[in-house]
Amino acid sequence: MSTTSASKFRFAFLCALIPMLGMVSLPSGLHVGTYALGSAKTPPSTASTKSPPAIVAFAHAWKMLKSYSVTLTIFEREGTKTQNMVFDYSFTKPSSVTTRVVEGANKGARLTWDGGSTVVVRRGSGLLSIFKKTVSLHDPLVTTIRGSTVDQLGFGAILAHSQQPGGLSESGGGMIDGAPTEAVTLIPTHPAYDARLTREVIEISKKTHLPTRVLGYEGSILVRKIDFANIHLAF
């Protein structure tokens, strides 16, 4: 390759990488794993609340599951800003995640996480897909507008999140994709440690006993919504 051709190639490649290097924030997932996002703080201890039947069934289904793939449609609001995303998401136990951004900021980007403190980001296809960037799990490049991180997206993280200090209640949910659900509502004891969410609802399928929708509210305002579709399970 001539010097001129090589320079043109490097310029084209750098242009392709601009969004990946932080010019556009790459969305990831839902806040369902830890308390204060990006913080080492932990909430004051509170006596655990007895889990409602739908959560018990969810825990059993999760224990039996080996891997799954799903299409995730995610909405978030932070102040006057909103964000809409669609992901192709795959999870394999114990903690292997691959995610492709189908719609939204950084469409086409791919993330991989293997349970550690970093995320590998790839962008493009063909030759360009071999180039990657490794960033912190809490890097703005791989967090949503509310600071959510990719490790907080899986069923296991949602289950763990439901056990945080707070009140849990269960009621009949609506029909989602033709299947009845149970709605489990969490009122966090310490919203400051839960991305300021004051109420969360997990709608759990009566058929699979796994989440089909998760909602998060700040006061009366819906600030987070995630829908699970095209679910494929491996036991």
In a domain, 6, yes or no: no
114-143, pLDDT tens digit by residue? 999 999 999 866 665 667 899 999 988 888
Strands ordered across the beta sheet of 211-218: 132-136, 118-122, 110-113, 96-103, 81-92, 67-78, 221-234, 211-218, 199-205, 179-188, 166-176
pLDDT attached to residue 45: 54
Q: Which domain holds residue 144?
A: 26-36+47-234
Determine the pLDDT at residue 20.
Answer: 37
Query: Does 183 map to a domain?
Result: yes
The pLDDT value given to residue 16: 41
128 φ/ψ sector (left φ>0, alpha ψ -120 to 50, else beta): alpha
Say if 203 falls within a structural domain: yes
Q: Span 153-169, mean pLDDT?
A: 93
How much of the chain, in percent, has pLDDT values that exceed 90? 60
Confidence of residue 106 (pLDDT cuts 50, 70, 90): confident
Does residue 28 register a pLDDT over 70? no
What mean pLDDT do residues 82-106 have?
93
Task: Choose the weakest-confidence range: 23-27, 209-213, 225-229.
Answer: 23-27
* CATH number, residue 213: 2.50.20.10
Counted domains in the chain? 1
Q: Identify the DSSP state of 26.
A: P
Domain presence at residue 62: yes
Residue 1 lies in a domain: no
pLDDT in tens, 164-194: 899 999 999 999 989 999 999 999 999 988 8
